[in-house]
Structure 1
Amino acid sequence: MLIAEVSEKFALSQDTLRYYERIGLIPRVNRNKSGIRDYTEEDCRWVDYIKCMRGVGLPVEVLTAYVNLFQQGDETVGARKEILMEQREQLCAKMEEMKRVLERMDDKIARYEQTIVEKEKTLSRG
């Protein structure tokens, strides 16, 4: 699959895909005889995984470390699992914080709506 197709499939710019490869976020992509990137299904799975993890805020450095460990083989399974467990814990904490912020926003919106209702009552009496 060409980089343009992968770019469209995952809604990532071609520059982003090249950057991800350059910094080791996705393993090196094979090239065809003309030197053009030729993404395999495995490459696409990596792109999908990294896009998902970046989408929830996992740092590039953490993901790069994870990919590097993955490339070292099965002896790094424990270290990779540890990275994922740490990131999961941080993500859960972030979700709790977001939940608190959402509740505050809901309260604020409710106060605005109440203010509007009160003003409308005043206007309808006048």
Structure 2
Amino acid sequence: MSYSIKEVAQKFNISSYTLRYYEKEGLIPSIKRNESGRRLYTEDDLGWIQIIDCMRATGMSIAYIKKYVDLCAMGEDTISERRKIILDQKNVIEEQLKKYNELLNLVDLKLDYYDEKITKDELRKILNEKKK
């Protein structure tokens, strides 16, 4: 099955411009084209786009992704280098998760404070109304 650039852009919630940029930078190894010259994306291409999208979302640079793609093209001899790139990115993600968990804990503490404050204020209002 093949997909148009528009379908792929919608599927990954990225622009057609971004897809063309990825292709121009050599991040997607080889996009086939139909007789009219329109891009036809395969399932393999979607796999590349998915990993590129993942790496970009975690802050990996285009140059580093390009290095990874180039290593993939070199074959089996580069598996350990590719594994290191993915492991490094996993470590980046884990650090980001740690940071966001700390932020979430702070937000939760603030919400607990406000929830407690609101509950006390509501209780006071109820007691004051009963006195009347």
TM-score range, shorter chain: 0.7 to 0.9
- What's the TM-score once normalised by structure 2's chain length? 0.82
Q: How many residues align?
A: 126
> Offset at 1:117?
1.1
SS in 1 for 2:88: helix
Percent same amino acid at aligned positions?
Answer: 36
Q: What CA distance in whole angstroms lies between the structure 2 residues aligned with 1:9 and 1:94?
A: 25
Residue-by-residue CA offset, 1:32-85 (whole Å, 9 max, x unaligned)? 222111112211111122223333444433222211211222222111111111
| 80, 83, 86: which one aligns with 1:84 | 86
| 47, 50, 53: which one aligns with 1:48 | 50
Q: How does 1:60-99 map to 2 (within 5 A)?
A: 60-99=62-101
Name the CA shift for 1:116/1:60 in 2 (closer, same or farther; >3 Å).
Answer: farther
Unaligned residue ranges in structure 2 (runs of 5+): none
- What's the TM-score once normalised by structure 1's chain length? 0.85
Pick which of 5-14 and 86-95 moved more. Answer: 5-14
RMSD: 1.8
1:116 aligns with 2:103: no
Residue-by-residue CA offset, 1:9-54 (whole Å, 9 max, x unaligned)? 3222211211221223322312222211111221111112222333
1:10 aligns with 2:16: no
